[in-house]
């Protein structure tokens, strides 16, 4: 059984943090994971930096650029993760673009993920049909979860479809925006979250894209099993006081 | 329908597809569900062709080049896309897509541009059809192409600078896609046969007017149904597919696409995608793309802004893969040479992009009786600065 | 033949003639003796029309402007001379005259140019027909129009600066005439319906293709034989006479020529010849010319280089005198306004010259059912610098 | 009887000097005429400066420009000439462009010429037919001579025609050039001058356009009744020593 499932057995209010591997420094990744785990974050999403992050906002784009300049790449990341594999108990999710998966060699990629303690993967630009046709079996073989996204633009029947394919949880994009747009929750997103609730999905949900503070996180928790914070977290990182800045940020959300 | 262009779920052989974030899924569903019924509709085509004829100035001539033919000991025709309104083939596509967007009820158009040709063509059509227009353009390109920026502004378009990456074409497309994600009510009017399905198919269809006319004109002028060669430049591939379209099934028509070698294919200053690139996804499409071993897109280089793209359209990836189209490449220097040659013997200053197609002439041995059609995709006004810089080198 | 254009010894009414130094007498004798038999010859016309169609891109569209028509509550058509190869009507004439020169056995062409449009059109045709080409251009204009100078060079032409007078168009013509006097073996390829007889007649004939097409297109589009209005700008008068030509005898077609008022007709910065000028000789022709009381030619001013000429052609002097054509004038500011308007509602950036014709629209009250044809003589690429300078003033 | 005819009764080797009225200074004209007369010049051609002197070379163009800037115009010239009318015995020829004649009013112009002691007129751009049709009678009325030009490009029958219209002398343009090209006599011009001689014209001839020194003047005199010097003379003028520079120049030609 995948540890993501363990997580959602124990109720709601799950906090997931997204950050970019190799940012602010090439070797920050390991340290950030360790500190996040200490500060009681429930789930960690690691972004694999990409040259052309189509679906990401400015903050994540910039962190991607810096991380790439720092020399981050999948081989680097996998070997960094392997070093701390034994200490990590929170589920790790890897988020990247399909081309990175493809170019690396899909099966090698999944194999490396498995060996590095990764539990699930998100490829925001990998179409459902292609996943089902070409990769679903392979994910199962490596016991990795494929996590789907739904947005307020997604019709009900497609949400049902995606929730059936998605494993572990469903990633609910809370507002019509790329990450980091920092618009606080508006009326419209709530209508969308209500719509999701009314579908009575059998899979847990995490809300992401637009959560920046305690308020918005709590709101997300009212409608879903928790929330994902990315841009706001990345922006809060202080290169010279990684530990302090992370603790302060997480504390500002949780307490 | 054409077997090379007949997609199976948006794929041409192994290439194509719709690799987009979920948030755009509904937009693409709308496109996929409606595009065939709209753009194949006779009344739509009537409107389209009427604007092509009355506004763009089509049909463009198929011009027999006396001197060039003598020099290369064959029969060379130029398809004069340079004579279109706004100066290149780009307008064929923008007219088509803007009409399509109107049919979909859209009021606001977004588009990317590199050197500015597609941006101007889009701003032009939006002005004509009373659509709001936002153009994304890399900050570097905005500085390099100040005149074209002013043209777009004069036409009423709003320009948004792309400040990420290399701040050129690729980044402008990223920025446009991101904007679209945040404003899904817009219509994204893409500028070449690239991007997620069904864009390549839509753009190819609108550009296919080029080969439709070539076919008719060869019949009228020479009483023949096909040429021996069609030669095009390829940046994204829109002028190329347009010129090939109606001849793809005629295996005896030799189709040639010329890429930019930049400073040379073995330098890291090149845009020769089929040589330097490999299978990968760029801008939502699985195709050939210049990338490193981790799938990071490599910044291309070409003297010509319109050739300066790290990918090719998925149809061309398939045409390359199946060897239906032969790919060549020429260096910046070859291109300048060719541009000066045709200026001085035929009185036509070509776009740097189009000069790529011409630059291949010395590298192929044609038969005396061959009929060679070169697609002259655009005029060189926008490239004068570059040409001037090399004036002394090439003046005879 | 046309009574307004039927010369009696090279005169149109009181205007015209061949006021040239004796040394050119034999050249003009050659022209006068041969031009009719050559240019009216069917095989000559076949060659001429073939180049117009296959090289220049004619026929140019007659485009119905929806939005402009709505705005001015009438029916406005644009004759799209801007779509010609090299960007204006000038090429119609250069193709014709260069073929004529070849027929006369000439190998070397000389021409004047102001902004560079006629120079480029001439260099283009000389490149195409393998003729040597020398362009005279005022030193001031060479500096102002650096891009066009480079274009001419790229096309293989030699540029000789005119260093006398104001160093602009008028001086370039003087210089070309002087060169001709010293090299009578050249063919002088004049750029408008100005100069000594038979030039105005020859140029008008080659430009008459414009009205020939308008006539045909109105018939095809609307089933009518004539419009209610034809509106043109007038620098020397070549695009104007071309658009009027086949309608001169139809008294019910209202013909309008728009001059440049520059900063205003009552300032000394104007090029409104029919207002500021009087009967006089310029460049070998008796016509209207801006001159002081001693017959010294006054330097004109216009924002637009192609309108910046102190005379008008002799045919127009006669059409003005007989009131067959009504003359208007518009200021630089009116012109910029009109250029921005059409850019933003029809997606066409006009040449500053052509924008003079458009700028008259708000000043005439048309009937709802009127058919108004405006000759859009050229595209605005060459004028971008000027347009950019006023971008903030006119952006809506 | 026009004094030009007197001049040519007394043989050959006539020296005619052309200069631009109002150059180098507005009031130089009078002085130049007086000095030229002193230095035994046989005929004086006064150029009326024009804004667009189509048939003139650079030196004359420049002198035109300067003279216009100095304020020279026909009214000026006529009144200047009237002041010295009584002292002048050499024939004066006025050379201008047709537009100056036209704009001034043709009859007034001729009237003023007559009153100013002018004997003949040259308008290089006034066509023969127009002269005959519109002005010949008027010239006769004011007893002014209309002087025609012929060039090596002029066919024999036209030379005959022009020599019949021209009064006083025929102006023979010696080389295919605008004034001041300073090519010395070449073979071709001599062929032309021979051609003229063979026509046995009944009118005297002066050769002009290209005579710059004693040699070329003497050559002209071998073939014609004399020569006309323009550009070379104008160039030799020294604003600060008008008298000296003129005497030196004429001496260099005649002695
Ligand atoms: C004149 C011209 N030709 C060719 C191209 C390359 O694009 P494509 O390969 O899509 O035709 C461009 C792009 O800007 C262009 O402006
Ligand atoms: C586009 C355009 N229109 C008009 C003119 C004015 O000339 P014309 O009156 O001979 O047509 C020019 C001259 O350069 C021109 O370039």
Whether residue C375 contacts residue C92, with contact meaning beta carbons closer than 8 Å, is answered with no
Size of interface B-C (CB pairs under 8 A): 115
Segment 251-290 of chain C within 8 Å of chain D by CB: 278-284, 286, 289
Selected for mutation to probe chain C from B154, B340, B350 (highest C CB count within 10 Å) is B154
SS3 for C359? coil
For the residues of B12-27, what is the DSSP string, one character each?
A: ETTEE-----GGGHHH
pLDDT at D179 over 60: no
Place of tokens 């020429």: B330
- Confidence band for D178, pLDDT divided at 50, 70 and 90: very low
- Confidence band for A175, pLDDT divided at 50, 70 and 90: low
**pLDDT at position D187:** 55
Q: In angstroms, how far apart are the furthest CA atoms of chain B?
A: 58
Which chain B residues have a beta carbon less than 8 Å from that of A129? 9
**pLDDT at position D41:** 97
Domain covering A12-254 in this structure, CATH number: 3.20.20.70
Which chain B residues have a beta carbon less than 8 Å from that of A132? none
**pLDDT at position A178:** 46
A176: how many CB neighbours lie within 10 A of its CB? Answer: 22
- Confidence band for A55, pLDDT divided at 50, 70 and 90: confident
CA distances from A249 to A213, C342, D154 (A): 9, 55, 100
pLDDT at A25 over 80: yes
The full set of domain ranges for chain C reads 25-52+90-203, 57-87+208-394
Q: Is C84 in the pocket of ligand 2 (CB under 6 A)?
A: no
Strands (E), D21-165: 43-47, 92-95, 120-122, 145-146, 149-151
A191: how many CB neighbours lie within 10 A of its CB? Answer: 10
Tens of pLDDT, residues B314-345: 999 999 999 999 999 999 999 999 999 999 99
SS3 for D170? strand
- DSSP-assigned letter for residue A20: E
**pLDDT at position C269:** 95
Domain B25-52+90-203 class in CATH: alpha beta
Sign of the Cα torsion C282, C286, C290, C293 reads positive
Q: Find the ligand nearest to C241 CA.
A: 2
CA C207 to CA C227: how far, in whole Å? 19
Nearest residue of B to residue C390 by CA position? B154
Q: What are the phi and psi torsion angles at D189 (to 5°)?
A: -55, -35
Whether CATH 3.40.190.10 fits B57-87+208-394: no
Whether residue B192 contacts residue B237, with contact meaning beta carbons closer than 8 Å, is answered with yes
Which atom of ligand 1 is the closest one to the Cα of B240?
Answer: 11
Whether residue A60 contacts residue A234, with contact meaning beta carbons closer than 8 Å, is answered with yes
Whether residue B270 contacts residue B280, with contact meaning beta carbons closer than 8 Å, is answered with no
CA distances from C308 to C143, C244, C312, C333, C374 (A): 16, 21, 11, 15, 21
Q: What is the pTM of this model?
A: 0.95
**Closest to B353 (Cα-Cα) out of B388, B379, B392:** B379
Cβ contact D51–C281 (<8 Å): no
Give me chain A's average pLDDT, please: 93
Ligand 2, atom 15, residue with closest C-alpha:
C306
Low-confidence residues of chain C: pLDDT under 50: none
The contacts of residue B283 (CB under 8 Å, 6+ apart) are A52, A54, B170, B173, B174, B177, B194, B195, B196, B311
For the residues of A33-82, what is the DSSP string, one character each?
A: HHHHHHTT-SEEEEE---S--TT--HHHHHHHHHHHHHT--HHHHHHHHH
Tens of pLDDT, residues C221-245: 999 999 999 999 999 999 999 999 9
**pLDDT at position A174:** 77
Tens of pLDDT, residues A32-43: 999 999 999 999
Catalytically annotated residue among D5, D45, D129, D133? D45
D56 annotated active-site: yes
SS3 for A199? coil
- Mean pLDDT, residues B282-311 taken together: 95
Tens of pLDDT, residues A81-123: 999 999 999 999 999 999 999 999 999 999 999 999 999 999 9
Angle separating helix axes C146-154 and C117-128, nearest 10 degrees: 10
Strands (E), D83-222: 92-95, 120-122, 145-146, 149-151, 170-173, 205-208
**pLDDT at position A185:** 46
CA C347 to CA C337: how far, in whole Å? 15
**Closest to C140 (Cα-Cα) out of C117, C172, C97:** C172
Residue C1: burial class (beta carbons within 10 Å; 0-12, 13-18, 19+):
exposed
Nearest residue of B to residue A173 by CA position? B23
3-state secondary structure A95-120: ECCHHHHHHHCHHHHHHHHHHCCEEE
A45 annotated active-site: yes
State the alpha helices, DSSP H only, in chain B.
25-39, 42-51, 66-71, 90-103, 117-128, 139-144, 146-154, 169-182, 199-207, 209-222, 238-244, 273-276, 314-321, 332-346, 352-358, 384-389, 391-394
For the residues of C96-128, what is the DSSP string, one character each?
A: HHHHHHHHTT--EEEEEESSSHHHHHHHHHHHH
Whether residue D60 contacts residue D179, with contact meaning beta carbons closer than 8 Å, is answered with yes
Q: Is D134 on the interface with C (CB under 8 A)?
A: no
The contacts of residue C126 (CB under 8 Å, 6+ apart) are B347, C98, C109, C132, C133, C155, C156, C157
CA B305 to CA B90: how far, in whole Å? 14
- Confidence band for D185, pLDDT divided at 50, 70 and 90: very low
Ligand 1, atom 13, residue with closest C-alpha:
B306
Tokens for D152, please give them.
């090596």
Whether residue D173 contacts residue D150, with contact meaning beta carbons closer than 8 Å, is answered with yes
Selected for mutation to probe chain A from B17, B21, B33 (highest A CB count within 10 Å) is B21
- Confidence band for D176, pLDDT divided at 50, 70 and 90: very low
Q: Is B182 on the interface with A (CB under 8 A)?
A: yes
Segment 143-162 of chain D within 8 Å of chain C by CB: 148-151, 153-155, 158, 162
- Confidence band for D203, pLDDT divided at 50, 70 and 90: very high
CA B274 to CA B231: how far, in whole Å? 16
pLDDT at D181 over 60: no
Q: Find the ligand nearest to C79 CA.
A: 2
**What radius of gyration, in Å, describes the C-alpha atoms of chain D?**
17
**pLDDT at position A176:** 41
**Closest to A205 (Cα-Cα) out of A249, A160, A250:** A160
Q: Find the ligand nearest to C354 CA.
A: 2
Place of tokens 């776009």: B351
Q: Which residues line ligand 1 (CB under 6 A)?
A: B 88, 90, 114-115, 117-118, 192, 233-240, 306, 351, 353-354, 377-378
CA B308 to CA B383: how far, in whole Å? 14
**pLDDT at position A186:** 46
CA A54 to CA A182: how far, in whole Å? 18
**pLDDT at position B348:** 98
Q: Identical fold at C25-52+90-203 and C57-87+208-394?
A: yes
Element (H, E) at D161: helix D156-165
SS3 for D246? helix
Q: How far is the CA of C348 from the centre of ligand 1 (A)?
A: 21
Tens of pLDDT, residues B238-274: 999 999 999 999 999 999 999 999 999 999 999 999 9
The ipTM of this complex is 0.94
- Confidence band for D175, pLDDT divided at 50, 70 and 90: low
Cβ contact B182–A100 (<8 Å): no
- Confidence band for A187, pLDDT divided at 50, 70 and 90: low
- Confidence band for B396, pLDDT divided at 50, 70 and 90: low
Cβ contact D52–C280 (<8 Å): no
Rounded to the nearest 5 degrees, what angle is found at the Cα of C253, between the Cα atoms of C247 and C255?
85
pLDDT at D25 over 70: yes
CA A97 to CA C267: how far, in whole Å? 67
CA C151 to CA B381: how far, in whole Å? 9
CA C183 to CA C204: how far, in whole Å? 26
Tens of pLDDT, residues B172-214: 999 999 999 889 899 999 999 999 999 999 999 999 999 999 9
Whether residue A22 contacts residue A28, with contact meaning beta carbons closer than 8 Å, is answered with yes
The contacts of residue B165 (CB under 8 Å, 6+ apart) are A51, A52, A65, B138, B171, B174, B299
For C65-85, b/e burial (b = at least 16 CB within 10 A) is bebbbeebebbbbbbbbbbbb
Cβ contact A99–B280 (<8 Å): yes
Tokens for C202, please give them.
């020859």
């Amino acid at each position: 059984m995948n540890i993501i499932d363990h997580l959602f057995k124990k109720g709601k209010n799950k906090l997931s943090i997204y950050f970019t591997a190799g940012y602010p420094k090439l070797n920050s990744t390991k340290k950030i994971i360790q500190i996040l785990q200490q500060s009681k974050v429930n789930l960690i999403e690691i972004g694999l930096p990409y040259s052309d992050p189509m679906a990401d906002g400015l903050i994540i784009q910039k962190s991607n650029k810096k991380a790439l300049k720092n020399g981050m790449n999948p081989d680097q990341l996998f070997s960094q993760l392997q070093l701390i594999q034994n200490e990590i108990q929170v589920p790790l999710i890897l988020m990247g673009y399909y081309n990175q998966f493809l170019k690396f060699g899909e099966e090698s990629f999944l194999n490396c993920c498995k060996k590095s303690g990764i539990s699930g993967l998100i490829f925001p630009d990998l179409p459902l049909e292609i996943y089902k046709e070409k990769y679903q079996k392979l994910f199962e073989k490596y016991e990795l979860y494929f996590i789907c996204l739904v947005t307020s633009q997604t019709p009900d029947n497609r949400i049902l479809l995606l929730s059936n394919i998605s494993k572990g949880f469903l990633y609910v994009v809370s507002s019509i925006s790329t990450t980091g747009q920092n618009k606080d929750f508006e009326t419209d997103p709530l209508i969308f979250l209500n719509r999701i609730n009314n579908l009575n999905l059998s899979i847990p949900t995490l809300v992401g894209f637009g959560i920046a503070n305690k308020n918005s996180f709590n709101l997300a928790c009212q409608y879903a099993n928790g929330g994902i914070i990315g841009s706001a977290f990345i922006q809060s990182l202080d290169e010279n006081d990684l530990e302090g800045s992370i603790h302060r940020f997480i504390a500002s959300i949780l307490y | 329908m054409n077997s090379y262009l007949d997609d199976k779920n948006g794929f041409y052989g192994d290439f194509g597809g719709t690799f987009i974030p979920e948030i755009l899924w509904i937009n693409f569903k709308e496109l996929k569900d409606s595009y065939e019924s709209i753009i194949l509709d006779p009344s739509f085509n009537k409107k389209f062709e009427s604007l092509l004829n009355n506004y763009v100035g089509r049909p463009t001539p198929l011009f027999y080049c006396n001197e060039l033919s003598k020099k290369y000991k064959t029969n060379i025709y130029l398809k004069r896309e340079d004579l279109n309104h706004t100066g290149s083939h780009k307008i064929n596509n923008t007219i088509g897509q803007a009409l399509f967007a109107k049919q979909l009820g859209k009021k606001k158009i977004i588009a990317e541009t590199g050197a500015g040709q597609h941006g101007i063509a889009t701003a032009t059509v939006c002005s004509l059809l009373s659509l709001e227009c936002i153009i994304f353009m890399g900050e570097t390109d905005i500085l390099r192409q100040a005149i074209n920026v002013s043209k777009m502004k004069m036409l009423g378009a709003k320009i948004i600078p792309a400040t990420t990456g290399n701040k050129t074409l690729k980044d402008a497309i990223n920025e446009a896609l991101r904007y679209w994600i945040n404003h899904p009510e817009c219509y994204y009017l893409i500028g070449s046969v690239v991007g997620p399905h069904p864009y390549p198919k839509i753009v190819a269809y609108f550009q296919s007017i080029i080969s439709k006319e070539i076919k008719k004109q060869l019949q009228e002028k020479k009483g023949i149904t096909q040429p021996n060669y069609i030669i095009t430049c390829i940046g994204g591939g829109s002028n190329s597919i347009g010129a090939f379209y109606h001849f793809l099934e005629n295996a005896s028509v030799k189709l040639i696409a010329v890429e930019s070698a930049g400073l040379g294919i073995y330098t890291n200053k090149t845009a020769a995608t089929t040589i330097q690139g490999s299978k990968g996804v760029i801008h939502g499409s699985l195709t050939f793309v210049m990338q490193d071993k981790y799938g990071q897109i490599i910044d291309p280089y070409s003297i010509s802004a319109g050739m300066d793209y790290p990918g090719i359209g998925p149809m061309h990836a398939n045409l390359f893969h199946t060897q239906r189209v032969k790919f060549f490449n020429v260096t910046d220097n070859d291109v300048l040479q060719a541009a000066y040659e045709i200026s001085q013997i035929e009185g036509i200053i070509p776009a740097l992009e189009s000069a790529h197609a011409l630059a291949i002439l010395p590298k192929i041995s044609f038969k005396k009786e061959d009929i060679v059609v070169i697609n002259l995709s655009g005029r060189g006004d926008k490239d004068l600065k570059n040409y001037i810089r090399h004036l002394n080198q090439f003046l005879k």
